[in-house]
Structure 1
Amino acid sequence: MAEDTAAANIEAPPENGAAMAKRRKLLRLLAIAVVSIAVIWGLWYVLTQAGRVSTDNAYVGADSATVTALVSGPVKAVRVSGTQMVKKGDVLVILDETDQRIAVADAEAALRQARQHYGQSSANADAARARVSARGAEIAQARARLRDADALVAKARAELARRESIAGTGAVSAEELTAARTTLASASAARDLAAAGIASAEATRGSASGDLGAAEAVVRGTTIDTAPDVAAAQARLDKARLDLERTVIRAPVDGVVTNRQVQVGQRIAAGAPIMIIVPVDTAYVDANFKESQFKRIRIGQPVELTSDYYGGDVVYRGKVIGIAGGTGAAFSLIPAQNATGNWVKVVQRLPVRIALDPKDLRAHPLRVGLSMEATIDTRGND
């Protein structure tokens, strides 16, 4: 039996040995190729991928602007449609301005009336000032009359005294003596009347001074433009003109019109939202990274992003600008609570705000809510 086996080995064709040698050579080459690929991949990973953290739980966001009507009124015209791109200042909606034009006319009339009243008050003050001056002149005249009356009283008293001194000699008749006494009494009465005239003139001047004070209080320290009534009327006019301007509703920012809720003929109230403008040129990305990935994530690190919207050929460049203060679960309406002790740890995710390069956004605009894949290069921490 052993001889047959040996004979079979001796008689084995040489082609089998060559095939086995070739197979071993191929296996060695394959092993070398596998090792080489592994080494190359390791070098590539160390040089390009080590220190990078990625997530596909990322979404496009933007600080959208809600357009609201600042005055109420019926809609006269709607100049934009949903999905339309608009620039800041473009006309979006025009309201019927009839009520606002009437309000402007009424405010203009009120302003003219306030100016007229101020002019009247100023004229009244001037008139009161003139009356005070006139009362002062009357007082001076009354005092002059009093001095004249005093002089007449003194003269009449002297005449009476002279006649009384010679009445006993018979040189003065009784009639002359009576006339002298009458003259003195008349002069005394005239003096009393002059004194009363002074008091009356002083009282009149006091009343005029009060009127002057009241008139001056209205205009004191003001001009026709700074008077309270005029200023209030001017403010009402400015408000009416502003309301008239607000009947034309303009875009507050550049962006895309979204969620338009207004139609021609509809009456809208002040403060009612009518549409939303999404500023796609300033879009950002909120990427939700696992808590285990935050060991090396820092603000300012570069980020590469791709979107299913354009495919992997379009790569956006960005930068980490902020890290949220808590997970979404922590700020949910009903935060998760475990009071039973039957707890399974779930890896939490924390939002990272990423600013996109404006040039990339202009070349390939994004829309709010699109999914993104984000990769942060953390190697700058080394």
Structure 2
Amino acid sequence: MNSLPSRIGGIALLILSLAACVITGFLVLDRLHSRPRTEDAYVAANIVHLAPEVSGRIVFLPVHDNEKVRRGQILYVIDPEPYTYRVQAARAQVEGLQAQIEVQTSQVSSQVSHAGAEASGVTSARARLTLAQATEGRLTPLARQGFVTREALDQARTETRSAEASLQQSLQSALAAKQAVRSVAPLRADLAAAQAQLREAERDLRLTTVRAPCDGIVTDLNIAAGEYATTGKPVFTLVDTEIWWAIANFRETQLAGLAAGQKVRVYAMSQPGTPITGTLESLNAGVVPDEGTSANGLPKVPRTLNWVRIAQRFPVRIRLDNPPTDLMRIGATVVVVVMR
């Protein structure tokens, strides 16, 4: 008699349990839809490979591996002595050209004055010739009529020939004086080139002191003062701590509801009880597919087919808002929840 109510109670409990499971499942699905999340995420930051722009031996290295540095702080100094000599040589060349320009400018002024005087002589010679020709022109008809002696006419003709010769000589002298005027334009061009070399030498001298371009943490430092630094070859790496990101790999089925500007909560695995706020900044444009690539110019198609198709994951960049510095390490695992 007691078995029937027990069976009914058991069936009812089973039904209630199944209903609770279904409701819980719907709630979980609704939460996953309204708040997409992923555990496939990690902390990221920009890194700066501190490579010098000038070569030389490192004479001062005040930082250490894993040390925090501030923007503008001296990281290392390359021997400035040879670059100081280059600046001095470039400055001496500039000063020498400036002195030459001053001297030649003075000479040019004198040459221009001389050319002006010769030009004035041409004007006087031309006026003298005009007067002599006019005098000869007046005396010629008078001499035919007997009013002027033959001697006076010959004298006027001689004066005309002399004035013509004097004009030609003045013209040649004026041309020579004009050609003798030297221009300072070539020296000014040389000066501009020398000044550019001086600025470049001064810049190289400044670059012997390498400063931190941002707040950061020194890493991968395994040299000491005395090492020779080569242009373009990194001496060590600086982790930029001014901006931190979380790179979250979301399934492609979740991307439709994600957009730039959405608020995000990030939980570091080392301290899951400390939520970090952030803003979704951008969605990745694509990843390299496992299939469909090419080799030797031909499509590469696999012979086998996996019937279980797994959704592709795409990186989503999230900028963190004032994250705790003690939790920020590149590659640290985090959980990302998007707050729609």
Q: Which runs of 5+ in 1 are unaligned?
A: 1-16, 166-179
Choose from 232, 238, 251 the match for 1:290.
Answer: 251
Equivalent pairs: percent with the same residue?
21
Bigger shift: 266-275 or 134-143? 134-143
> Max radius of gyration: which structure?
1
Could you tell me which residue of structure 2 aligns to residue 313 of structure 1?
273
Could you tell me which residue of structure 2 aligns to residue 9 of structure 1?
none
Q: Which whole-Å CA distance do the structure 2 matches of 1:276 and 1:334 have between them?
A: 35
Bigger shift: 106-115 or 344-353? 344-353
CA contact (8 A) 2:55 2:230 kept: yes
CA contact (8 A) 2:279 2:321 kept: no
Choose from 282, 285, 305 the match for 1:325.
Answer: 285
Q: Which runs of 5+ in 2 are unaligned?
A: none
**Cα–Cα, structure 1 residues 34 and 348, in superposed 2: closer, same or farther, change >3 Å?**
closer
Q: Which residue identity is paired with 1:355? A: I
Q: How does 1:198-277 map to 2 (within 5 A)?
A: 198-212=167-181, 214-215=182-183, 218=185, 227-260=188-221, 262-277=223-238
Q: Which residue identity is paired with 2:315? A: V
Q: Which whole-Å CA distance do the structure 2 matches of 1:367 and 1:111 have between them?
A: 51
Q: Which whole-Å CA distance do the structure 2 matches of 1:348 and 1:322 have between them?
A: 20
**Cα–Cα, structure 1 residues 290 and 48, in superposed 2: closer, same or farther, change >3 Å?**
closer
Bigger shift: 110-119 or 134-143? 134-143
CA deviation after TM superposition for structure 1 residue 88, in Å: 1.1
CA contact (8 A) 1:318 1:354 kept: no
Deviation string, structure 1 residues 58-93 (Cα, Å, up to 9, x no partner):
121112122110111111111211111111111001
CA deviation after TM superposition for structure 1 residue 374, in Å: 1.8
**Cα–Cα, structure 1 residues 85 and 328, in superposed 2: closer, same or farther, change >3 Å?**
farther
**Cα–Cα, structure 1 residues 142 and 376, in superposed 2: closer, same or farther, change >3 Å?**
closer
Q: Which residue identity is paired with 1:289? A: F
Q: Which whole-Å CA distance do the structure 2 matches of 1:145 and 1:23 have between them?
A: 149
Bigger shift: 337-346 or 105-114? 337-346
Q: Which residue identity is paired with 2:219? A: T
Q: Which whole-Å CA distance do the structure 1 matches of 2:15 and 2:74 have between them?
A: 70
TM-score, with normalisation over the residues of structure 1?
0.71
1:376 and 2:338 are equivalent in the alignment: yes
CA contact (8 A) 1:259 1:276 kept: yes
CA contact (8 A) 1:326 1:350 kept: no
**Cα–Cα, structure 1 residues 331 and 287, in superposed 2: closer, same or farther, change >3 Å?**
farther
Instruction: Give the secondary structure class of the aligned counterpart of 2:285.
Output: coil
1:72 and 2:41 are equivalent in the alignment: no
Q: Which has the higher helix share?
A: 1
Could you tell me which residue of structure 1 aligns to residue 70 of structure 2?
87
Q: Which residue identity is paired with 1:297? A: L
Q: Which whole-Å CA distance do the structure 2 matches of 1:104 and 1:191 have between them?
A: 66
Give the paired residue count: 332
**Cα–Cα, structure 1 residues 46 and 343, in superposed 2: closer, same or farther, change >3 Å?**
closer
Q: Which whole-Å CA distance do the structure 1 matches of 2:53 and 2:244 have between them?
A: 27
Bigger shift: 189-198 or 239-248? 189-198
**Cα–Cα, structure 1 residues 333 and 284, in superposed 2: closer, same or farther, change >3 Å?**
farther
CA contact (8 A) 2:216 2:241 kept: yes
Could you tell me which residue of structure 1 aligns to residue 117 of structure 2?
134
**Cα–Cα, structure 1 residues 228 and 83, in superposed 2: closer, same or farther, change >3 Å?**
same
**Cα–Cα, structure 1 residues 203 and 296, in superposed 2: closer, same or farther, change >3 Å?**
same
**Cα–Cα, structure 1 residues 116 and 235, in superposed 2: closer, same or farther, change >3 Å?**
same
Q: Which whole-Å CA distance do the structure 2 matches of 1:326 and 1:67 have between them?
A: 30
TM-score, with normalisation over the residues of structure 2?
0.78
Choose from 348, 351, 354 the match for 2:314.
Answer: 351
Q: Which residue identity is paired with 1:97? A: P
Q: Which residue identity is paired with 2:165? A: A
Could you tell me which residue of structure 2 aligns to residue 8 of structure 1?
none
Could you tell me which residue of structure 1 aligns to residue 239 of structure 2?
278
Deviation string, structure 1 residues 138-183 (Cα, Å, up to 9, x no partner):
335545776589979x99xx99x99x99xxxxxxxxxxxxxx97x9
Q: Which residue identity is paired with 1:71? A: V
Q: How does 1:184-199 map to 2 (within 5 A)?
A: 192-199=161-168
Could you tell me which residue of structure 2 aligns to residue 99 of structure 1?
82
Q: Which whole-Å CA distance do the structure 2 matches of 1:353 and 1:49 have between them?
A: 17
CA deviation after TM superposition for structure 1 residue 110, in Å: 1.2
CA contact (8 A) 1:288 1:349 kept: no
**Cα–Cα, structure 1 residues 343 and 21, in superposed 2: closer, same or farther, change >3 Å?**
closer
CA deviation after TM superposition for structure 1 residue 45, in Å: 4.1
CA deviation after TM superposition for structure 1 residue 275, in Å: 1.7
CA deviation after TM superposition for structure 1 residue 35, in Å: 7.8
CA contact (8 A) 1:281 1:365 kept: no
Q: Give me the CA root mean square deviation.
A: 4.2
**Cα–Cα, structure 1 residues 298 and 191, in superposed 2: closer, same or farther, change >3 Å?**
closer
